[in-house]
């Protein structure tokens, strides 16, 4: 009976994805064990370390459909690890005692860690696919709303104007950096493990490194420079990467939630009949995807910390830290996958209210561009004098609910230097967007270059 949200028949496709569940399923993980054992037998057969007929027999029997999972469960509970149970079943399946050559010179952690790296490889492929779709959605929003002014916000207060395209391009640039991090970490992380009991390959002898090299070539993994049984930075790096990536998704969700507030109402999650409705307040349209993104990203960060805890391992084979990874790593990938999928779907169908963005810019009667006015008056009055004068006028405008430009034009010190027409231009939020458009273009240019490869 499912007991967690990640395998719940109700919630599982909200908090994660079927594709990632498959990667971390018993069947896929065991298939990876078997692929490693079969590859090891093939390499050792080529090197003459085990009989060729044993190689063929072992490889033929290393198929997941041959595994009795009920029996594997029982042996794992009894032994404490699944690898010996898998090997025992392969040995029993092989004819003429040839299965005795299976797992030759290997240790449990060799097979387990290499299989884990294979799962990570498959998981990162799924992560990358959703990253690309998120980047495409952000690029589209950046392009479409390049010149659409909206209020920039600081400490939840209106600050100065920017464009919605600029806001989206900032997030797109982060996704570009995550893409580069993924490209850089793959060669470091996607290295298998084959070292024997304490990593020295003593059980194999002089050809141990040849076996290791051939095994990694078979599995399309990098050959490690030295054993890493209890040096777990590879696994920690993956967790850190996914924590950072989902943190960016969390930033997206936070801004969408805030922009969906009734008093703001500038963007909305995609509309679906009944989605986000309240059981008691018919008028409500609550954020939904944003909530799941926020929750998943938060738990990924906490689980990533667990992987760094697992890095503090004892001697050459650890007594407990390793098993932390067994718990945390699959959940990190499952939650990250759900986080990315919700982000992708939300951004792809995001509803943007341009008119409301403009209306919100006008809420303060021009005070949102007080910085522009201060900078414009600075050459005539001095920066500090201009700051203090505009500050006082903004207070009056807010108290009396009057347009800032009217009060500016009535001030004698200002009027003798700047005509009303120029003041009106200073007070137009659309005229104070800085280099937002040029910066958006730079990010979009980088995205186009990345797509060209």
Q: Specify which residues 222 forms β-bridges with.
A: 191
The answer to whether 143 is a known catalytic residue is no
What number of other Cβ atoms are within 10 A of residue 20's Cβ?
Answer: 25
Q: 138: burial class by Cβ within 10 Å (0-12, 13-18, 19+)?
A: buried
Under DSSP, is residue 157 helix (H, G, I), strand (E, B) or coil? strand
Residue whose entry in the numeric block shows the structure tokens 């050959």: 223
Cβ contacts of residue 220 below 8 Å, gap of 6+? none
Residues in the chain: 453
The answer to whether 46 is a known catalytic residue is no
User: Do residues 289 and 225 make contact, with C-beta atoms less than 8 angstroms apart?
Assistant: no
Cα–Cα dist 81/73, whole Å = 10
Cα–Cα dist 337/143, whole Å = 26
Q: Which of 347, 349, 309, 351 is nearest to 328 (CA)?
A: 309
User: Do residues 37 and 102 make contact, with C-beta atoms less than 8 angstroms apart?
Assistant: yes
Q: 179: burial class by Cβ within 10 Å (0-12, 13-18, 19+)?
A: middle
275-297 burial, b at 16+ Cβ within 10 Å, e below that, comes to ebeeeeeeeeeebbbbebbbbbb
The runs of H, that is alpha helices, within 278-419 are 289-310, 321-348, 354-361, 370-381, 383-400, 404-410, 412-415
User: Do residues 137 and 346 make contact, with C-beta atoms less than 8 angstroms apart?
Assistant: no
Residue whose entry in the numeric block shows the structure tokens 């890493």: 228
Catalytic residue, chosen from 186, 285, 317, 358, is 317
Element (H or E) spanning 150, and its range?
strand 149-154
Cα–Cα dist 337/20, whole Å = 7
Catalytic residue, chosen from 278, 383, 395, 442, is 278
The two structure tokens encoding residue 107: 């240790």
Question: Would the CA dihedral through 412, 416, 418, 424 be positive or negative?
Answer: positive
The residues that are catalytic are: 278, 317
């Amino acid at each position: 009976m499912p007991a967690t949200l990640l395998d719940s028949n109700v919630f599982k496709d909200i908090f994660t994805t079927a594709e990632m569940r498959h990667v971390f399923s018993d069947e896929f993980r065991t298939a990876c064990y078997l692929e490693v054992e079969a590859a090891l037998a093939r390499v050792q057969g080529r090197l003459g370390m085990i009989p060729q007929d044993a190689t063929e027999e072992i490889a033929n029997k290393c198929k997941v459909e041959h595994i009795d999972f009920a029996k594997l469960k029982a042996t794992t509970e009894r032994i404490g690890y699944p690898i010996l149970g898998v090997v025992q079943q392969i040995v029993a399946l092989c004819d003429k005692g040839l299965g005795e050559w299976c797992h030759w010179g290997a240790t449990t952690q060799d097979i387990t860690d290499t299989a884990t790296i294979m799962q990570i490889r498959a998981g990162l492929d799924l992560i990358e696919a959703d990253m690309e779709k998120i980047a495409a959605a952000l690029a589209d929003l950046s392009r479409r709303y390049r010149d659409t002014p909206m209020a920039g916000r600081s400490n939840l207060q209106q600050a100065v104007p920017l464009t919605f395209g600029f806001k989206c391009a900032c997030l797109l640039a982060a996704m570009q950096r995550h893409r580069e991090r993924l490209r850089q970490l793959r060669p470091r992380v996607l290295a298998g493990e084959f070292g024997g009991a304490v990593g020295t390959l003593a059980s194999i002898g002089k050809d141990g490194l040849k076996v290791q090299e051939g095994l990694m070539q078979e599995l399309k993994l990098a050959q490690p420079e030295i054993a890493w049984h209890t040096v777990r930075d590879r696994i920690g790096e993956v967790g850190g990467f996914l924590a950072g990536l989902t943190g960016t998704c969390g930033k997206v969700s936070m801004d969408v939630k805030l922009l969906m507030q009734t008093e703001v109402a500038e963007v909305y999650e995609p509309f679906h009949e009944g989605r986000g409705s309240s059981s008691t307040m018919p008028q409500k349209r609550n954020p939904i995807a944003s909530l799941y993104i926020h929750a998943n990203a938060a738990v990924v960060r906490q689980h990533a910390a667990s992987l760094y805890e697992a890095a503090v391992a004892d001697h050459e084979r650890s007594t407990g830290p390793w098993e932390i990874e067994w718990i945390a790593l699959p959940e990190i990938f499952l939650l990250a996958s759900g986080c990315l999928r919700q982000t992708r779907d939300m951004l792809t169908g995001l509803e943007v209210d341009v008119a409301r963005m403009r209306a919100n810019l006008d809420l303060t009667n021009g005070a949102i561009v007080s910085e522009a006015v201060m900078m414009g008056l600075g050459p005539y009055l001095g920066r500090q004098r201009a700051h203090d004068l505009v500050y006082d006028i903004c207070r009056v405008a807010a108290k009396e609910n009057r347009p800032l430009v009217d009060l500016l034009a009535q001030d004698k010190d200002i009027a003798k230097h700047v005509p009303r027409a120029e003041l009106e231009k200073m007070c137009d939020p659309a005229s104070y967007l800085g280099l937002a458009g040029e910066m958006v273009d730079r990010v979009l240019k980088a995205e186009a270059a990345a797509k060209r490869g």
